[in-house]
Structure 1
Amino acid sequence: MTHAVVTADSLTGALDRLVDRVSGAEFAVVLSPDGLPLGGSRRVEAKLADQISGIVAGLLALGLAATRTCDAGGLRQIVVQMSRAFLFVATIPNGTILTVRIAGDEIEVGDMAYEVALFVGQAERHLPITLGPASAARSGDSGAQRRLS
């Protein structure tokens, strides 16, 4: 199996464009299926990416438990509404995870939801990652497909 390589510049550029398209969008981060930061938009430093990684791990665990309990299919998106901001977490078909924060008084949540869905739909252009079972390297599987289904 071949694994495509994503350059940090191409991912950062795609995330910057996502953030630039919606008023109030502050940052976007993409995580690997196991929660490691793959890249972020401008103004995303390593500490923030690590914090987002931990938050998203907890949110995904809750979201996946809800999908199992409700027998409602795969997890696609989680939206956290706070008093002054929203956090969007979306699963991407290749196993990666997009997280975007939007804040402010004049934000358009619908615009951000649309842009997140658009990014997810076009993710293969920005994230040409091929994921498969780790059984090729060792016994067992990676769990990525199970977690995001």
Structure 2
Amino acid sequence: MTHSAVATDSLTDALDGLVDRVPGAEVAVVLSPDGLLLGRSGHLADQLAEHLASLVSGLYALGQAAGRVCLAGGLRQVVVQMARSFVFVATTRGGAILTVRMSGDADVGDMAYEVALFAAQAERALPVYLEARTATGGTSGAHHWRP
């Protein structure tokens, strides 16, 4: 079982505030760049939080690889649309990964704005990951896609 390494009340409160404030938002988690669960919204069950953390780790890695291969720079956001739900994955300036799951009928534009805003402000409650910040901007060692 994965346990939160940064189990602060302020982070839980901030995630709960995001979920409560945005219509359609269901759950939120924050991960370290290596996939460690740092925090989750209060009403999210442990097992679902662990599953979501695993899923997001994979999406994050794919997004980083796409940025390197396509020479597009560091990863900022990944959005997955399913039949009844969306998953938003965004990186914070400090390198942490914010994820919000929302219902399929919610306003995607509002959620994208709120996720970006939260990610920009989240560094007050999160550690800074210098390795992640430098890794997302570089292209060394990547095989580049060229048309």
Q: TM-score range by the shorter chain?
A: 0.7 to 0.9
Residues 1:146 and 1:56: Cα distance change in structure 2 (over 3 Å):
farther
Q: Which amino acid aligns with 1:23?
A: P
Residues 1:83 and 1:56: Cα distance change in structure 2 (over 3 Å):
same
Percent of paired sites with the same residue = 61
Q: Name the SS of the counterpart of 2:74 in structure 1.
A: coil
In structure 1, the partner of 2:13 is 13
Distance 1:95 1:29 in 2: 14
Report the Cα offset of residue 6 of structure 1.
5.2
Structure 2: state its 5+ residue gaps.
Answer: 138-147
Deviations 1:67-119 (A, max 9, x none): 111101110000000011100000111111000000043x1111100000100
Report the Cα offset of residue 126 of structure 1.
2.5
Q: Which amino acid aligns with 2:129?
A: L
In structure 1, the partner of 2:132 is 144
- Which consecutive aligned stretches of 4+ in structure 1 deviate over 4 angstroms post-superposition? none
TM-score (norm 1): 0.82
Distance 1:53 1:6 in 2: 14
1:31–1:38 contact (8 Å) kept in structure 2: yes
Q: Where does 1:17-36 land on structure 2 (aligned, <5 Å)? A: 17-36=17-36
TM-score (norm 2): 0.83
Report the Cα offset of residue 30 of structure 1.
0.4
